[in-house]
Structure 1
Amino acid sequence: MRVLVIHPVGTFGGASKSIIEFHNHLRNYSVDMEVLCASGSVVEQFGNNGYLSFSVKHISQFDNTGYGYYRGIRWLLLLREIAFLLPSFISIRKNLKNKNYDIIHINEVTLIPWAALMRRWADAPIVVHVRSLQRKETAGLRSRWLKYIMKKHVARIIAIDNSVRRTLPQEFCVNVIHNSMKVDVNKKHSLNTRTRFRVAIVGVLLKLKGVYEFLEAARILVHDRGLDIEFYVVGENTRELSGWKASILKRLDLAHDVRRDIEEFVAKNSLQDHIVLMGFIEDVQSIYADLDVLCFPSHLNAAGRPVFEAAFYGVPSIVAVKDPPPDTIIHGETGICIDKPDGRLLADAIERLFNNSDELKILGKNAKELANRNFDIKKNAEALLKLYNNVIAQQ
């Protein structure tokens, strides 16, 4: 079986990591993956795992997710996507025309507007992975247009969890297949010998991930409350900005050089002895066993991939999420949920676990059980294989 994955993000992150994990397992079933992706660190990661990739500078997207949909000043981002339409069109057509693929797997729902052309050029069914909460289906013309495309041109939809599933139209046939990870229990540790309580945020350095709220929580706990805690920031910076361009984009809240902002915050607040900026780590499994708590204070109202990754090592998470379905995190049982990404709320939750080692252990134990139950790589990869086979059989 030949599968072409279309991946629009150049930075190596959760979506690319998840598709690699799945297909590393599916190799055992003669599934051959190739990748068309935006240029960036993700190209190297696909190559390191033995996958042939075709990279282009940019692939135009249309963002109608619950967090990123176009409104106000964010309409300027759509102009960027329009500017790349023609080169995206040429690149996609070149890599699909007259190629023999059994499945086209769109790895981000923001590529949905391309579905009709991809289906025509490749003469292959389309599978779409939905990895983020969507706007309500009644939210206007844009949502209805995307719903029409999905109904007409997409063979099957995958949601990464039940939180995402419930933001999709109920009449859609959606398979919930959780992201997964092959756990290496013998992984060498990256951190030094533990001397203090350790908290981390893991993921691509983006404002929407809650990095700034994490920093503010660190400041509150160290300076206002006098707690001796180490805070680790693990992830790749997406943009290095400088000069007038950086000033304008930051003022408009359209882009941030997050690494630079972290360095300035640490220096301004004299937190050099408490905040460690680790940068990109290719294998994050090497740090989880050395942590006490993982934080995921994102603006996405969801529990991201690092939550279950840490859980496999018995590390509970603090997540900014309202009313989550019990397949990812259970408040007070496998972790702590806070109502919104807020530095003070996050600090309160960290302090609660800092002062209660018994609760910390119970949460970690329960989180590990939940991870083993819902995020097992063998079970979920085989669910994806079954989906692929069913789609092909229905053509």
Structure 2
Amino acid sequence: MEHEIHIITQQGEMVDKFKLLTPHVYEIRGIPVLFTAENFGYIRTIFVNLKSFFYYKEVAKVVAIIREIGPDIVHLNEIGMFSLAKRVKQELRIPVVMHARTVPNRKYKLLLKLFTNQCNRFVDQLICITKSVAYQYPEILHKSVIYNPIQLDENEANRISAINYDSQVFKVLFLANFYKQKGVEETLKAIIELRANLNIQFVIIGSNIKSQAFFKSLFGRLLNLLNVYPDYENRMRKAIQEYELKNVTLLGQVRDIKSEIQNCHLLIAPMHLNGTPRSVFEAGIYGIPSILALYHKIDDLVEHEVNGLVINEKNYKELVNGIVCLERDRSKLKAFGEAAKEKYIQICAQDLAAREMNEVYLRLLAN
């Protein structure tokens, strides 16, 4: 079955990348998206949703483009695009597929109810990128889990170098930008707690989400003080100086992340997002297990005591205990790493994701 792909996308750097895939690329300013994400507070949630209103005029433009294309399926790349889904479904009578990439905030019951209602009315199939995402939408009728694919072919998988699980120096990787919800504070507390054991070395890849100029401004200093946008880079540098830390390396943003991943033994993701970040399977395909924090402890990409450890959110003591456990028990570390590699290469394979997505399209077209 042949596919002719048309992509409607926001103006920016992705336009040129999409044009490498298809000549049918259309640029718009943006699309209104209702927003909810685990551990994002009321103020930020309201702000993001209000900002979305500036793009409502673009909906008519997108509908006109879709009408001209005349596609068999419309795939919306983020849950919350309900204003567009409604018009595509009601006016154009075209099946709508929608992707859900973030775990919704469990505390905002009205938003959860709204998302569920809108999905059941205007979306033919919701694609969740993990079971954690799907778990939070129990009343959405038509949903399935298709994991994000890894860009790794079979030849590359066979050439992956073996991890030296018995190395005296045990490298622990934190890979994320410095959002509060990513567990930066728990990571820093773990580094301080384990500073006496120089065999355990922390490698930090990531940086502040705001510039240094922002944090030097009066507004930036205020938000840092209120812990809304913490200046974690500065806090880490101060902690290194205050505690004379010799067990941490701050790499900032790096180009060759794959090489850095393969130099480590364990990934930590002590997030407050009740979901699994992409870094878990990006590290796992190289044989590196993870310690992941979840509110709802369901077996998903990380299976507790099978290919990693699942701990409680906002609990740095559990994080410390997990790191120490795997540093001391290298046979368990190796077993977890090998299980992670086997699982992620299989369930995150590009051909599997493409096949599962195509099956969704064909089923909707048949109906």
1:62 to 9, 34, 41: 34
The residue aligned with 1:23 is: none
* TM-score normalised over the length of structure 1: 0.76
Structure 1 residue 196 and structure 2 residue 169: aligned? yes
Taking the aligned partners of 2:23 and 2:194, their CA distance within structure 1 comes to: 44
| Structure exhibiting the larger radius of gyration computed from Cα positions | 2
Query: Cα deviations across residues 12-39 of structure 1 (Å, max 9, x unaligned)?
Result: xxxxxxxxxxxxxxxxx64525241364
1:181 to 133, 150, 168: 150
- List structure 1 segments (4+ residues) > 6 angstroms apart after TM superposition: 48-52
SS at match of 1:341: coil
2:202 to 218, 231, 236: 231
Percent identity at matched positions?
A: 22
1:156 to 125, 129, 140: 125
* Change in CA separation of 1:273 and 1:319 when aligned onto 2, cut-off 3 Å: closer
Contact 1:333–1:366 (CA<8 Å) still a contact in 2? yes
The residue type equivalent to 1:233 in the other structure is I
Taking the aligned partners of 1:257 and 1:94, their CA distance within structure 2 comes to: 44
C-alpha displacement of 1:279? 0.5
SS at match of 1:32: coil
Structure 1 residue 359 and structure 2 residue 332: aligned? yes
The residue aligned with 1:13 is: none
The residue type equivalent to 1:153 in the other structure is F
Contact 1:60–1:111 (CA<8 Å) still a contact in 2? yes
Matches within 5 A, 1:20-59: 30=3, 32=5, 34-37=7-10, 39=12, 42=14, 46=18, 54=26, 59=31
Taking the aligned partners of 2:232 and 2:69, their CA distance within structure 1 comes to: 40
C-alpha displacement of 1:339? 0.9
Structure 1 residue 112 and structure 2 residue 82: aligned? yes
The residue aligned with 1:250 is: 224
The residue aligned with 1:126 is: 96
Taking the aligned partners of 2:237 and 2:187, their CA distance within structure 1 comes to: 14
Taking the aligned partners of 1:171 and 1:334, their CA distance within structure 2 comes to: 30
Structure 1 residue 99 and structure 2 residue 72: aligned? no
The residue type equivalent to 2:74 in the other structure is I
The residue aligned with 1:24 is: none
Query: 54-63 vs 343-352, which deviates more?
Result: 54-63
The residue aligned with 1:298 is: 271
Contact 2:169–2:200 (CA<8 Å) still a contact in 1? yes
The residue type equivalent to 2:198 in the other structure is L
Contact 1:101–1:122 (CA<8 Å) still a contact in 2? no
SS at match of 2:362: helix
Query: Cα deviations across residues 22-69 of structure 1 (Å, max 9, x unaligned)?
Result: xxxxxxx64525241364x6556556767865555654432233433x
2:46 to 67, 70, 75: 75
Taking the aligned partners of 1:170 and 1:107, their CA distance within structure 2 comes to: 21
* TM-score normalised over the length of structure 2: 0.81
SS at match of 1:219: helix
The residue type equivalent to 1:63 in the other structure is F
Query: Cα deviations across residues 140-191 of structure 1 (Å, max 9, x unaligned)?
Result: 44333322221121111111222222221345121111222132344799xx
Structure 1 residue 316 and structure 2 residue 253: aligned? no
C-alpha displacement of 1:329? 1.4
Query: Cα deviations across residues 299-330 of structure 1 (Å, max 9, x unaligned)?
Result: 11222222122221111100002453333112
Taking the aligned partners of 1:236 and 1:254, their CA distance within structure 2 comes to: 16
Aligned pairs, number: 356
Structure 1 unaligned spans of 5+: 2-28
* Change in CA separation of 1:388 and 1:135 when aligned onto 2, cut-off 3 Å: same
* Change in CA separation of 1:38 and 1:109 when aligned onto 2, cut-off 3 Å: farther
Taking the aligned partners of 1:48 and 1:252, their CA distance within structure 2 comes to: 44
SS at match of 2:299: coil
Contact 1:37–1:53 (CA<8 Å) still a contact in 2? no
The residue aligned with 2:351 is: 378
Taking the aligned partners of 1:270 and 1:48, their CA distance within structure 2 comes to: 49
SS at match of 1:226: coil
Contact 2:307–2:340 (CA<8 Å) still a contact in 1? yes
Taking the aligned partners of 1:139 and 1:336, their CA distance within structure 2 comes to: 28
Give the alignment's Cα RMSD to 1 decimal.
3.5
Taking the aligned partners of 1:238 and 1:91, their CA distance within structure 2 comes to: 32
C-alpha displacement of 1:360? 0.9
The residue aligned with 1:345 is: 318
* Change in CA separation of 1:289 and 1:144 when aligned onto 2, cut-off 3 Å: same
Taking the aligned partners of 1:258 and 1:215, their CA distance within structure 2 comes to: 9
* Change in CA separation of 1:294 and 1:51 when aligned onto 2, cut-off 3 Å: farther
* Change in CA separation of 1:30 and 1:286 when aligned onto 2, cut-off 3 Å: farther
Structure 1 residue 279 and structure 2 residue 248: aligned? no
The residue aligned with 2:300 is: 327
Taking the aligned partners of 1:38 and 1:341, their CA distance within structure 2 comes to: 37
Contact 1:187–1:285 (CA<8 Å) still a contact in 2? no
Contact 1:133–1:167 (CA<8 Å) still a contact in 2? yes
* Change in CA separation of 1:30 and 1:117 when aligned onto 2, cut-off 3 Å: closer
* Change in CA separation of 1:51 and 1:203 when aligned onto 2, cut-off 3 Å: farther
The residue type equivalent to 1:173 in the other structure is H
